[in-house]
A = this chain, B = another copy of it.
């Protein structure tokens, strides 16, 4: 591709000017971080990017991720230059209800991008640094190893974010998977938010690192359009390794007042300063750039989804829900060729290895790199794959920021965390998922599922595959009795009343391992003449408000919640929340949960020590019944 130098420099000037104009109009934003990368993006969109703006969901489109999301003014200026947004809309940057938010965001609803209120050309929200490249790894795998399409993934990164570990997880995995379809463009402008970056303009140091991680590296002057052009061509010509272009740039390049000056991060020019800058840059322009259409290539012959045959477990046998998760994944994989599975080097614990054994070409090992694990799953998901990512629930906390940002993207993400709660036993608290429900509940619009039985697990995994948004399955280490028939259905947002009578005095609400402890307690309570309802609250979010309200009403507001999770943020909190915004007063809720730091011990010792086994449930129910009785008595006394 030959460089049209005039057009490039004109376009670059326009991108700088527009970045200045919209941020000055907004009174906030990051013009200088946009200006440093203007030449890089001008060459990219003029000569290399292959993109059908009118069909952003076209599978052959290149992908452009602004990992340095704060350079959004530059991205929006590109949209204007591509004729996709008007100048008026450009100037709506950061205004209430504008699509052009402070940081790029696609606006999805129910998994689909809202093309009117959102920006259909953005695949993933950015703004938390170091997340673009891990996502590109997922996209790169789809392009290179799954759909085998010639599209390229371009990631614009800041030099500051090279300090994020997540970036190095991605450098590692990209080379491991030979993702020559990924190009990282690092805008080395030397200045972070509060001053110089760690490595400043030591581009050589970055090059060494990137090369050591198995990448092809090219150092260029990021304002030399000929050099930029050559670098992009070199990146496209490289067929084995991913390419990292380390572009030495000047922050605020194009306007003397801000160029390479500290103190200008996230700061806008005043009206007068903007006018000066626009003058220095040669005045406003309205260039329209025509971007090349994608190389048309049909996705490799796709097998169509077939009927899903879920595994069947006999009632009365025993199985671990983590094993059932693996079985269900393998079944899903057989039914649908779009199902992909990723794991964080614990596939023999999460049981994703059951999928791997059958569909090795759709299983991707992310090794011990949970941020990359979630990032890659997200990258696959936004390209239309049904990706499941699994590791120990405890270690999913490592990717909380990535999960949070996936929710900002409105994307679908399917996660499984195994080895939850104290009931894992001897390994101790470092391996116990005790915060995962709290983490996943607080994620916007999330689905949090916690099965107690193998058949239930199958059904829930099937539901997850269809669910938009962030869904999470919590699986247990130990075998548990199969209590549900394989033809029972479990919908997201539902629950199962496992024991009930017409005059229950108390309702025990549980999920996972504690459901089984509750069933044991049920029998113990029977021997004391206490009639307990037992509710399996397998869908923690959304929650089955109706069944909970009914239980409160039927039992005179006598609820006991028991969970293998810390007391804060778990099932107890979810149950309490179901009774907010009520006018008639709330039930009495007793929360049994983990409250002291566990050590090692057998699962049963752990459950007992945490006070969440059958014996403790029984004790708690009896105590609260007695207290209730006393309260009722004192209440009658008051009435007298």
Residues of A within 8 A of B (CB): 26, 28-29, 69, 93-98, 100-103, 105, 125-130, 160-161, 163-169, 172, 176, 192-194, 197-198, 205, 208-209, 211-214, 343, 345-349, 353, 365, 367-372, 394-395, 397-398, 400-401, 404-405, 407-408, 410, 425-431, 434-435, 438-439, 441-445, 541, 557, 566-570, 572-574, 576-577, 579-591, 597, 599-602, 605, 609, 624, 627-628, 630-631
Contact = CB atoms under 8 A, between A and B. Distances in A.
B404 A103 contact: no
Contacts of A408: 429-430, 597
Nearest to A581: B590
The 6 A-B pairs of least Cβ separation, nearest first, read A165-B165, A127-B430, A586-B586, A96-B601, A438-B442, A168-B168
A337 to B, nearest CB: 24
B583 A96 contact: no
B583 A631 contact: yes
25 contacts: A26-B426, A94-B600, A96-B605, A97-B599, A98-B600, A102-B431, A103-B431, A128-B395, A128-B430, A165-B166, A165-B169, A165-B369, A192-B345, A194-B345, A205-B212, A400-B439, A438-B439, A438-B569, A569-B569, A573-B576, A583-B588, A583-B624, A585-B586, A585-B587, A586-B589
Contacts of A95: 600-601
B194 A164 contact: no
B197 A367 contact: yes
**Which of A397, A408, A568: most chain B CB closer than 10 A?**
A568
A580 B585 contact: no
Contacts of A347: 194
Nearest to A30: B427
A599 B101 contact: yes
Given A212-B212, A431-B127, A572 B577 contact: yes
Nearest to A606: B96
Contacts of A29: 426
A572 B580 CA distance: 9
B125 A28 contact: no
Contacts of A163: 169, 172, 345, 367-369
A585 B583 contact: no
Contacts of A597: 407-408, 410, 444-445
Given A96-B601, A127-B429, 19 more contacts: A103-B431, A105-B428, A164-B165, A165-B371, A165-B372, A192-B345, A205-B214, A209-B213, A398-B400, A438-B442, A573-B577, A576-B576, A577-B591, A580-B589, A581-B589, A582-B588, A583-B624, A586-B586, A586-B589
A368 B160 contact: yes
Given A129-B368, A165-B165, A441 B438 contact: yes
Nearest to A408: B429
A407 B216 CA distance: 41
Contacts of A205: 212, 214
A193 B26 contact: no
A69 B600 CA distance: 14
Contacts of A585: 557, 585-588
B580 A591 contact: yes
Contacts of A589: 579-581, 586
Contacts of A209: 209, 212-213
Contacts of A587: 585-586
Contacts of A372: 165
Given A208-B212, A567-B577, A580-B590, A348 B430 contact: no
Contacts of A426: 26, 28-29, 94, 102
A32 to B, nearest CB: 15
A588 to B, nearest CB: 5
Given A168-B165, A435-B443, A583-B624, A194 B590 contact: no
B429 A105 contact: yes
A207 to B, nearest CB: 9
Given A585-B586, A605-B96, A176 B193 contact: no
A631 B584 contact: yes
A445 to B, nearest CB: 8
A340 B576 CA distance: 40
A353 B599 contact: no
A605 B600 CA distance: 51
A623 to B, nearest CB: 9
A110 to B, nearest CB: 13
**Which of A213, A343, A583, A631: most chain B CB closer than 10 A?**
A583
Contacts of A577: 567-568, 572-573, 576, 591
Contacts of A583: 588, 624, 627-628, 630-631
A374 B590 CA distance: 35
Contacts of A165: 164-169, 369, 371-372
Contacts of A605: 96
Contacts of A176: 198
Given A103-B428, A163-B367, A579 B568 contact: no
A167 B348 CA distance: 24
A589 B572 CA distance: 15
Contacts of A569: 438, 441-442, 568-569, 573
